[in-house]
Amino acid sequence: MSTDDIAIIGVGMHPFGRYDGKSALQMGEDAVIDALGDAGVAWGDVGSLWASSMEVFNPEAITGLLGLTGIPARSTFTGCASGGNVLAQAANSVRLGEADVAVAVGLDKHPRGAFSAHPSVSGLPDWYGEAGLFLTTHFFGMKINRYMNDHGISHETLARVAVKAFRNGERTGYAWRNKQMSVEEILASPVLNYPLRQYMYCGPDEGAAAAVVCRADQAHRYGGTPVFLKASTLFSRKEGAFELLSPSLPIEADLSPTVYASRAAYELAGIGPEDVDVIQLQDTDAGSEIIHMAENGFCADGDQEKLIAEGATEIGGRMPVNTDGGLLANGEPVGASGLRQVFELTTQLRGRAGGRQVEGAKVGYAQLYGSPGTAAVTILST
């Protein structure tokens, strides 16, 4: 959807991590209050709300904490792509004339440890779970293993992605994992799903993020510094795509939904990857960041080996990726993660990222990917 008619006028975040005794809705409340303050908008002036969460059945119940004003408040969940989706739905609400100002919020609070569910929720038979095959992490290990084999990516390059994430996390200050680690330390951590090691994976955690949107031509009425939504796309998998939780795949392959979401987003925004100044990619694991660099058009398959060694994806490099440490440093509260990307890009485009600022950033790009094979891309500009 072409979206240069929508402005983001405020963003807010409850840092991701572990917060015993604080509920997901309370973290969401903090994020929305933060975003409203940033926008210079009173809650009473908000006309609609979209919320996403994996653990909270009705995250739109956040109105109970913010104020019961009777507005349309809805939720939607599209796995790891949820944050991009609720931002798009809030924008649509404004575009449709339902509201002058709309709020998108994501919030979550995951139990410790690997995600666990019954296979039937993904349309899979019981035995698939009994046999120990119902684990999304298998996909991440298998996809990067094949990719390394085909395109000459080394284990050291996987480790360098994690090194960068924790270094950026340290610069960000509020990141969950903010202690620098060396390539050697990361390669010495235990393998969880070959070739992926402990510190090459993000962990599920807790947190919330929010954005406030309005019509671009009305943005001047509010106090915040607007950035503009240039594109917002979401694609589900096509037959033949190599996807999570697939007991079988056709021999004839199709491309990842990320590739379709990315191409459509560039077309809507009228730009190409060379025009992007600051990048957020879904780094569920270090391998995903490497693969997503190519799937989103930032390099050819295999070029990551050289680009990452040269520092191209670092702050100060020519394609800075995950400047706030991404999922690897912040963890993933699934419903909130996409809006963390939007928070970081907005902060960068406003020039307010402090020690992690990408100089002169004017165009930001965010990609999400997750179960059950859903990808979303958001492009923002000053």
Partner 1 sequence: MTQVPIAPDLFTWPSDSPSLIAGKGSDGKLEFPYRSHRLVGGVREELEKVELPRRGTLWTFTSQVFRPPAPPYAGNDDVKSFQPFSVGYVELPGALKIEARLTEPDPDKLSIGQEMELRIVPFGLDADGNETMIYAFAPVQDGDTA
Q: What residues line the site for partner 1 (CB under 8 A)?
A: 113-119, 125-127, 129-135, 138, 141-143, 145-146, 149, 190-196, 246-251
Cβ 167 to partner 1 shortest distance, Å: 27
* Nearer Cβ to partner 1 (249/309): 249
Residues 241-278, buried b or exposed e (16+ Cβ, 10 A)? bbbbbeeeeeeeebbbbbbbbbbbbbebbebeeeebbb
Q: Which is nearer to partner 1, 193 or 225 (CB)?
A: 193
| DSSP reduced 3-state for 188 | helix
Beta carbon of residue 343, minimum distance to partner 1 (angstroms, whole number): 31
Nearer to partner 1, 42 or 117 (CB): 117
**How many CB atoms within 10 Å of residue 125?**
12
Cβ atoms of 59 and 105 closer than 8 Å? yes
Output 302 or 351, the one with its CB closest to partner 1.
302
Phi-psi region of 361 (alpha: psi -120 to 50; beta: other; left: phi over 0): beta
Nearer to partner 1 (CB atom), residue 127 or residue 220 = 127
Nearest to 279 by CA among 268, 264, 290, 270: 290
Identify the CA nearest to 226 among candidates 63, 61, 382, 330.
382
Name which of 115 and 174 has its Cβ closer to partner 1: 115
Strands (E), 313-372: 363-370
Q: Are 133 and 285 in contact (CB under 8 A)?
A: no
Nearer to partner 1 by Cβ, of 44 and 132: the residue is: 132
Torsion of Cα atoms, 364 then 369 then 374 then 380, to 10°: -10
Please report which helix (H) or strand (E) contains residue 12, including its range.
strand 2-17
Shortest Å distance, C-beta 186 to partner 1: 17
Which residue's CB is nearer to partner 1, number 96 or number 251? 251
CB of 252 to partner 1, least distance (A): 10
Minimal distance, residue 315 CB to partner 1, in Å? 31
CB of 181 to partner 1, least distance (A): 20
Cα(242)–Cα(222) distance, integer angstroms: 45
Cβ nearer to partner 1, comparing 29 with 108:
108
Question: What SS3 state is found at 85?
Answer: helix
CB of 338 to partner 1, least distance (A): 25
CB of 148 to partner 1, least distance (A): 9
Where is 132: in which H helix or E strand? none
* Min separation Cβ 260 and partner 1, Å: 21
Yes or no: say if 164 and 313 are a contact pair by the CB < 8 Å rule: yes
CB 52 within 8 A of CB 75: yes
Residue 20's contacts (CB-CB under 8 Å, 6 or more residues apart) are none
CB nearer to partner 1: pick between 132 and 360:
132
Cβ 321 to partner 1, closest distance in Å? 24
Q: What CA–CA distance (Å, rounded) separates 208 from 290?
A: 26
Q: Which two tokens stand for residue 44?
A: 């009473």
